[in-house]
Structure 1
Amino acid sequence: MPHPRTHLQAGTAPATGDPDWQDWSTAWTRHIPVLTGRTDLTVSVAPGAGGGAPACFYPDTCRIEVDATHIGSPDIANPRRAGHKRLVPTAYGLLVHEAAHAAHSRWRTPPGTPPIVAAVTEVLEESRIEYRQRTRRRGDRRWLRHTVTTLISADDAPADDPWHAAHLAGLLLARVDARIITAKDIKGVRTAVTTVLGRKRLLQLRDLWRQAHSTDDTDADTMIDLAWRWCRILDIDPHRRPHVPTADPAVFTGLLAQALTDYLAHTAGLTPAEYRDQQITARHSPPATWSRRDPTDAERAAARTLAARLARARTHQPEPDTRPSPVPPGRLRTRHAITAQAQIAAGAIPTATPWQRSTQSPPPKPTLHLGVIVDASYSMHPYAAPMSSAGWILAYAARSIDAVTATIAFGSSPTLLVAPRQRPTQVLELHAYGGSSAFTDAVKLADEVLHLRQPGRLRMLAVVSDGDLPDIDPAQRLVTTLHRAGCAVLWLRPADLDGHTFTDTTTLLVADPVQAIGHIADAAVTALERA
C-alpha cells in the first residue's frame, strides 16, 4: 500500500542544514508557534529535506522539515514578511500540514501493530489532522488546499482493487468531509472509487474516517481500532501487504488511475495526456539551475535605453473623464451654482464652476506589470547566456521605471527567480537542460503574482524562448487568453533556432540582445500600445 507523501518519522537523523536557506529556517521556526501553539519546535528548510517526502514531522526531535524544492530560490520572497506565503503557497501549505501533525498527532502506534494496520492509520491521520487544524484555524484551509496535489501522486492508484480504491478514498474523499477540498473537485474520483468498492463498502469506510475526524489527539486505541475495522470491511489480511504493480505510474490505465490522473491534470490546467507527458519528462529531467553574475556595462546601457522607451509607452485608449465648467452643457452642481450666485451678488468675479461635463483626457501612464519568462530547457542550451541576458535587461529596465516585475524560469517545472517588488540586481545565468513542459505553469504563476488578466492596468508578458514546447495547444490558448484580456505578449526567439511562432504575440528574432536592444524596445512599445 502506498504511503502518504508526507509523514511522521521517529529517530531519524536530521537533514543537513543549507546556509543559503538559513533565513527561511529561522523565520519559519519563529512562526511555527502561531500555527501549532507549541514553542518547542524547530523548522529546517533545505533542498532534499523531508526524508524523501515534500515535508515531514519528526516527533522525537520536535523538528519539521520542508523540501526547499517547493520554494525554488531562497530570494524568491522574504520569509520574515507575512505576504511571502502568497508567493510560495504550496511550500507554506506543507508547513501548515506538518504543523497540523505537530499539534494533533499526539498518539503513537503501539508496538506489535501489523504494518498494514499502521499504514491505514497513516491514511486516516492525514485528513484527521487537517480537519483539526482547519477547525482550530479556519484560514489555514486556503494553504492546505494547495498541498493536496503535492501530497498525492499518480502512483497512489496503481490497480483497480478494493485496497487501492480505499486508499484513494482515504486521501481524497476523506478530505471532502474534512472540508479541505470540495465534492466537485473530486467528482470523477468518487465515481471510480464507488465503482470498485461498491456504495455499501464506501459508506462503511466513510463512517470510519468521519469517526477518526472526531477522535481525540491522544487516542491511539481508537485509531488502531478504526484501522482494524477498515481491513475487515475490505476483507484484507492485515498481516500481508497487498500486491502493488511495478509499472511506471505514467502508464497506469485502470479506472482509478485514470480518475486520479484526470483530477491531477485538471488542477494543473492540463489535459490528462499532457499531464502524463509532464510526469514522464519530470522523472527524467533535472530542475532548472543557475549561477549569478554582475551585469556588464553594455547590459546596463541596454537596460537604460529600454527603460527610457518603456517610460514613454502609453495605453492607446483615451480615458473618460469629467471637467468642471462655468457654462453649460453638462450636469449642474448645485453647491457650486449657489457659490457662483453669491459671488455675483457680492459684485465679485465668479470663480465657481457650476457645470460638470464629460470629456476625454489623454491616456495616463499607469504602472507597468511585466512578467519575464525564460526558457531553461535543453533546446535553449546554445543560447542560454544571451537569453539570460535578455531576461535581465527586460526585468531591470521595467523595474527602473517602478514597474512591478517577476522573472520566472521554466523547464520541467516553473521557478520564480525574481519576485514582484524585488530588484533584479544580478544576471541569472540559466543552465539550460531538461524538458520544457512547464510553460503553462510558468504563465499561470506569472498571472498569479502579477494579475496579468486583470483589466485597468498596463500589462505585458515577455517570453524568452524558441517556442519548441510539447504543449503547443494549451500554450496558445493561454497566450490568446492574455491577449484578449488586454495583456501584451512579447516573444523573443533565438534567430538561429527553428521553433513555433505563436499567434497573438509580437515575436522578435534575436541573436544578441544587447545589440538588438533598439529592436526589442520597438517591439515592446508596439506590443504595449496595441494592448
Structure 2
Amino acid sequence: MPHPRTHLHSGAAAPAIGDPDWQAWSHAWTQHIPVLTGRTDLTVSVAPGAGGGAPACFYPDACRIEVDATHIGAPDIANPRRAGHKRLVPTAYGLLVHEAAHAAHSRWRTPPGTPPVVAAVAELLEESRIEYRQRARRRGDRRWLRHTVTTLISPDDAPIDDPWHAAHLAGLLLARVDARILTAKDIKRVRAAVTAILGRKRLLQLREVWRQAHTTDDTDADSMVDLAWRWCRILGIDPQQQPQTPVPDPGVFGGRLAQALTDYLAHTAGLTPAEYRARQLSARYSAPATWTRRDPTDDERAAARHLAARLRRARTHQPEPDTQPSLIPPGRLRTRHAITAQAQIAAGTRPTATPWQRRTTLPPPKPTLHLGVIVDVSFSMHPYAAPMSSAAWILAHAARSSDAVTATIAFGSDVTLLIGPRQRPTHVQDIHTFGGSSTFIDAVKLADPVLQLRQPGRLRMLAVVSDGDLDNIAPAQRLVSTLHRAGCAVLWLRPADLDGHTFTDATTVLVADPVQAIHHIASAAVTALEQA
C-alpha cells in the first residue's frame, strides 16, 4: 500500500545538511518556529537536498526540521527576517508550517510489533490529523497548508484503480476537506473517482475513521493504531501481509484515479491537465539523446514542401453548400435588410446591411493537425540512422509548415523531448544510436498530453520512425490500438530491407530513401488521416 512521502523520521536523525548560502534562512526560521509550534527547543535547517528525501521533514529525537531549499529557489528571493517573505515563497513556508504541525502534535510513536501495513495507515491518518489540529490552534495557517498539499502528494499516489489506492487518495485529500484545509470543490472529481471504486457506504465508513483520528489526543498511540486496524478491516485486507496489488498495464493510459488526481494537481498549478502531464513527463524523461545537427538538403526541403501540400489538402474535405449574404443581386431579397440599407443611404452613411442572400459553396474550416513524430534511437537502428533521421525531419517540418502542432520525441533506453509543440524543426538531427528500445510506451505517453492524441474533435496523427524491434511488443500493440480506437491515425515508417514487426491498426510504409519515397509517405499519411 502506498503511504505519504516519509517526512516524519523517528529514531536516529541523519546528519544535518548545511549550506552557507542558506544560513540566513535557517537562522530566521529557527527564530520563527516557536511562533508556529509553541516549542523553544527546535532548530530549522534550510538547504538544497535537505528534507530526508522529502520536500521537508521533522526529526523528533533531534528536535530538528529540515526544508529543501529547492522549493524556495534562490537565497536572495526574499528576506526571511521580514514577515512578508512568506507571500513570496508560499509553498516552502507551507512546508515549514506542516512540519511545525508534526512537531507540535505528532507526540505518539508506533508501538513495537505493529504490522507495517497498519503503521502506514496510521501515518496516512496522521497527515490530516496534525493539519486539523494546527488549523484549530492557528486558523491563519490554513492558507499556507493549502499551498503545500500538492507538494506532499505525488502523481504516482494513484497508479491503478483499486480499493487500496482509492482509500489512500481519500485519506490524503478527502480527509483534508474535513480538516478544513481543502474545500469540497477542490477535490470534486477526486471524490467522484474514489466513490466509484469504493462505493458510498465504504467511503462513509472510512470517513468516520479519519474524523475520529482528527479528534484523537496528540499522545494517544493506541487509538491511532486501533483506527488503522479498523481502516484495514473496512477494506477487507489482511494487515499481517503486504497487500498485493496488480501491476499497471504499461500499454494502458492512466485510470480514473490517476486522471482525477492529475486534474486536481493541474488545477492547483494553474495548468490544463495536458500541460501538467507534459511537464511531469518531460521532467521525468530528461536524459538527453545524442544528435548531430545539420542543415536540410535541397531534396529534403522539396520533399517537405510536397508533403506539406498533401497534408493541407487532407485537412479539408469536400466543399459543402451554404448561403452567404451579399450587397448586390442575384439571390433572395431579405426585406428587413433592404429597408435597413435604404435607411442608411438616406442618412448619408455607407450601407452595411446585406439585402441579398445567395447560394454558394464554401469549404469547411480546416482543422489543425496534431502530429507526434517518435524516432527510435536504439542500437538496432544504426544501419538506418541516416534515412530515418531524414524522414523524421521531413515529417515534422512539413506538418509545421502546414500550420500543424508537432512534437518530435526520441526513444531508446531513455525518452527525450527533442522538439516541443512551439518549436520549429529548422535542422535535421542525425541519429546517434545507442542502447535498447524499452521506452516506446513512455514516448507515446509523453506525446499524448503534449499533443492531446486521444482527445476527440481534433485531427491527430502519430508517426513512428522505427524498425519495430521493440522490447515490449504486446503492450505496445495495445497502445497503438488504443490510439486507433480514439481516432488517432498511426503511421509507421520502417526500413525497407528489414523484416521487422508489423503492428495492426497502423499504416506501415517501408522506406529506403525518404526523399524518393515521399510520394508513398504522403499518400499513406493522407489515407490514414482521411480514414481516422
SS class of match (1:395) = helix
- C-alpha distance in structure 2 between counterparts of 1:96 and 1:436, whole Å: 40
Summarize the Cα distance change of 1:226–1:507 in structure 2 as closer, same or farther, 3 Å threshold. same
Contact 1:41/1:64 (<8 A) preserved: no
- C-alpha distance in structure 2 between counterparts of 1:64 and 1:145, whole Å: 15
Summarize the Cα distance change of 1:233–1:363 in structure 2 as closer, same or farther, 3 Å threshold. closer
- C-alpha distance in structure 1 between counterparts of 2:526 and 2:244, whole Å: 48
Provide, for residues 435-489 of structure 1, a one-character-per-residue CA deviation record: whole Å limited to 9, x for no partner.
54653x6445434332345566554322223345222552343232244xxx543
Provide, for residues 186-218 of structure 1, a one-character-per-residue CA deviation record: whole Å limited to 9, x for no partner.
755679xx9xxxx7xx97764342344678xxx
> Any unmatched runs of 5+ in structure 2?
20-35, 37-43, 59-64, 72-88, 176-183, 234-238, 257-283
Residue of structure 2 in register with 1:151 after alignment: 157
How does 1:348-427 map onto structure 2 within 5 Å?
A: 353-362=354-363, 367-375=368-376, 380=381, 383=384, 386-410=387-411, 416-424=417-425, 427=429
Provide, for residues 105-127 of structure 1, a one-character-per-residue CA deviation record: whole Å limited to 9, x for no partner.
33235597646597555322456
Contact 2:467/2:495 (<8 A) preserved: yes
Summarize the Cα distance change of 1:41–1:363 in structure 2 as closer, same or farther, 3 Å threshold. farther
Summarize the Cα distance change of 1:143–1:120 in structure 2 as closer, same or farther, 3 Å threshold. closer
- C-alpha distance in structure 1 between counterparts of 2:166 and 2:120, whole Å: 14
Asked if 1:268 is matched to 2:273, the reply is no
Aligned mate of 1:107, from 102, 112, 117: 102
- C-alpha distance in structure 2 between counterparts of 1:244 and 1:176, whole Å: 26
Residue of structure 2 in register with 1:24 after alignment: none
Residue of structure 1 in register with 2:270 after alignment: none
Aligned mate of 1:182, from 191, 197, 202: 191
- C-alpha distance in structure 1 between counterparts of 2:460 and 2:232, whole Å: 59
Contact 1:289/1:430 (<8 A) preserved: no
Residue of structure 2 in register with 1:250 after alignment: none
Shift of 1:500: 3.9
Contact 2:407/2:447 (<8 A) preserved: yes
Provide, for residues 84-103 of structure 1, a one-character-per-residue CA deviation record: whole Å limited to 9, x for no partner.
xxxxxxxxxxx999986544
Summarize the Cα distance change of 1:262–1:444 in structure 2 as closer, same or farther, 3 Å threshold. closer
Question: Residue type of the partner of 1:332?
Answer: R
- C-alpha distance in structure 1 between counterparts of 2:337 and 2:425, whole Å: 52
Residue of structure 2 in register with 1:62 after alignment: 67
Question: Residue type of the partner of 2:98?
Answer: H
Provide, for residues 378-399 of structure 1, a one-character-per-residue CA deviation record: whole Å limited to 9, x for no partner.
6556545654553344324433
> Any unmatched runs of 5+ in structure 1?
17-36, 67-94, 158-164, 237-241, 246-255, 271-285
Residue of structure 1 in register with 2:497 after alignment: 496
Task: State the structure with more CA Rg.
Answer: 2
Residue of structure 2 in register with 1:209 after alignment: 210
Residue of structure 2 in register with 1:471 after alignment: 475
Higher mean alpha-carbon deviation, 509-518 vs 1-10, is at: 1-10
Contact 1:495/1:509 (<8 A) preserved: yes
Summarize the Cα distance change of 1:424–1:51 in structure 2 as closer, same or farther, 3 Å threshold. farther
Provide, for residues 330-382 of structure 1, a one-character-per-residue CA deviation record: whole Å limited to 9, x for no partner.
47262344315875x89999996412235322456554432212345665565
How does 1:419-498 map onto structure 2 within 5 Å?
A: 419-424=420-425, 427=429, 429=431, 431-434=433-436, 436=438, 438-439=440-441, 442-453=443-454, 458-467=459-468, 468=470, 469-471=473-475, 473-483=477-487, 487-498=488-499
Question: Residue type of the partner of 1:302?
Answer: E
Contact 2:494/2:508 (<8 A) preserved: yes
Residue of structure 1 in register with 2:244 after alignment: 257
How does 1:117-132 map onto structure 2 within 5 Å?
A: 119-126=120-127
Residue of structure 1 in register with 2:341 after alignment: 339
Question: Residue type of the partner of 1:207?
Answer: E
Question: Residue type of the partner of 1:398?
Answer: A
Contact 2:377/2:431 (<8 A) preserved: no
Summarize the Cα distance change of 1:64–1:220 in structure 2 as closer, same or farther, 3 Å threshold. farther
Summarize the Cα distance change of 1:203–1:291 in structure 2 as closer, same or farther, 3 Å threshold. closer
Q: TM-score, normalised by structure 2?
A: 0.58
- C-alpha distance in structure 2 between counterparts of 1:322 and 1:129, whole Å: 66
Q: TM-score, normalised by structure 1?
A: 0.58
Shift of 1:421: 0.8
- C-alpha distance in structure 2 between counterparts of 1:98 and 1:358, whole Å: 64
SS class of match (2:408) = strand
Summarize the Cα distance change of 1:187–1:415 in structure 2 as closer, same or farther, 3 Å threshold. farther
Summarize the Cα distance change of 1:457–1:61 in structure 2 as closer, same or farther, 3 Å threshold. same
- C-alpha distance in structure 2 between counterparts of 1:322 and 1:229, whole Å: 73
Question: Residue type of the partner of 2:154?
Answer: T
How does 1:275-314 map onto structure 2 within 5 Å?
A: 289-298=287-296, 302-303=300-301, 305-307=303-305, 309-311=307-309, 313-314=312-313
Provide, for residues 113-171 of structure 1, a one-character-per-residue CA deviation record: whole Å limited to 9, x for no partner.
646597555322456689999985999899689934x13679xx9xxxxxxx9x86762
- C-alpha distance in structure 2 between counterparts of 1:342 and 1:3, whole Å: 73
Task: Report percent identity of matched pairs.
Answer: 47
Contact 1:330/1:356 (<8 A) preserved: yes
Shift of 1:262: 7.0
- C-alpha distance in structure 1 between counterparts of 2:210 and 2:249, whole Å: 21
Summarize the Cα distance change of 1:318–1:134 in structure 2 as closer, same or farther, 3 Å threshold. farther
Shift of 1:310: 0.6
SS class of match (1:490) = strand
- C-alpha distance in structure 2 between counterparts of 1:348 and 1:112, whole Å: 85
Shift of 1:62: 1.9
SS class of match (1:446) = helix
- C-alpha distance in structure 2 between counterparts of 1:145 and 1:110, whole Å: 21
Contact 1:376/1:410 (<8 A) preserved: yes
SS class of match (2:102) = coil
Shift of 1:404: 1.9
Residue of structure 1 in register with 2:317 after alignment: 317
- C-alpha distance in structure 2 between counterparts of 1:374 and 1:340, whole Å: 64
- C-alpha distance in structure 2 between counterparts of 1:332 and 1:416, whole Å: 56
Question: Residue type of the partner of 1:257?
Answer: Q
Residue of structure 2 in register with 1:86 after alignment: none
Summarize the Cα distance change of 1:309–1:350 in structure 2 as closer, same or farther, 3 Å threshold. same
Shift of 1:412: 7.8
SS class of match (2:154) = helix
